[in-house]
Amino acid sequence: MAMKQRNKSPIRSFGRRCSLLVKEQRARFYILRRCVVMLVCWQDSADH
């Protein structure tokens, strides 16, 4: 009985953990990209 619970639980928790990590990395990448774009635009406007 303990084996069945042990087999199902890690698969679900692994998938959930992976999806959470992917969401977190996508959010960080989005923020980083927005900052880079803002800096590039700020540099362009400072040159004029």
pLDDT tens readout for residues 1-48: 444 444 555 567 989 999 999 999 999 999 999 999 999 998 777 766
Alpha helix locations (H) across 1-48?
A: 2-47
Residue 45 confidence (pLDDT)? 74
Q: What is the pLDDT of residue 28?
A: 98
Q: Which two tokens stand for residue 13?
A: 């928790």
Specify the number of domains making up the chain: 1
Compute and round to an integer the Cα radius of gyration of the chain. Answer: 21
pTM: 0.58
Per the structure, the complete domain to which residue 11 belongs is given by 1-48
pLDDT of residue 38: 93
pLDDT at 18: 95
Q: How far apart are CA 48 and CA 41, in angstroms?
A: 11
Q: Take residue 39 and report the two structure tokens written for it.
A: 């800096």
Q: Which amino acid makes up residue 20? A: L
